[in-house]
């Protein structure tokens, strides 16, 4: 039920974006070391990015990760909204920095899931081809703002292609 509520909030946040003049849908994947321990873990998701101007964009994303650590099974879903500054404006090479926050829904074993608020900061670079955007990104994530020391880094890539909507 909480995941449904989180997804509903995400959709509501993106409703104003549907009237945008520049909206891109993409996918991304990254690796990270979970705060609970364990090895490299895959986090994958989809995102929608609204380019407000040459230098500013707003990105909403949903990510999921499943992993084993400390004899427990974890299933984590992130719902984030990031404000991104593109340092060179609209360009073939697009370095950027950003920050945002969101909700994290974490389920441990068969226990009920726990939803918390999160913060993140990011930096990346993209290469913009005619109908395809590829890039790499590093993100620092604090999954639970009640415990600021639980932050971790993720590093990965992103791909946007074939679905660019202009209104």
| DSSP 3-state of 11 | helix
Residue 161, domain CATH? 2.40.160.20
Q: Give the pLDDT score at 165.
A: 53
pLDDT at 141: 94
| Per-residue model confidence as pLDDT tens digits over 100-153 | 999 999 999 988 889 999 999 999 999 988 778 899 999 999 999 999 998 999
Q: What total number of domains does the chain contain? A: 1
Q: Nearest Cα to 114, choosing from 74, 165, 69, 157?
A: 74
pLDDT of 41-67, one tens digit each?
A: 999 999 998 989 999 999 999 999 999
Contacts of 113 (CB under 8 A, 6+ apart): 2, 3, 75, 105, 106, 107
């Amino acid at each position: 039920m909480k995941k449904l509520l989180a997804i509903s909030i995400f959709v509501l946040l993106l409703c104003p974006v549907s009237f945008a003049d520049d909206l891109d849908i993409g996918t991304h994947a990254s690796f990270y070391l979970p705060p609970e321990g364990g090895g490299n873990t895959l986090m994958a998701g989809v995102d929608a990015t609204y380019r407000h101007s040459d230098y500013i964009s707003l990105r909403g994303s949903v990510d999921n990760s499943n992993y084993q650590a400390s004899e427990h099974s974890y299933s984590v879903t992130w719902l984030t909204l990031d404000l991104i500054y593109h340092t060179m404006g609209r360009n073939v090479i697009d370095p950027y920095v950003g920050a945002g926050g969101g909700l994290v829904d974490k389920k441990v074993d068969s226990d009920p899931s726990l939803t918390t608020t999160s913060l993140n900061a990011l930096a990346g670079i993209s290469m913009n081809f005619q109908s395809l955007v590829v890039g790499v990104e590093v993100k620092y994530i604090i999954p639970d703002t009640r415990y600021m020391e639980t932050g971790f880094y993720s590093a990965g890539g992103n791909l946007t292609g074939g679905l660019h909507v202009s209104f």
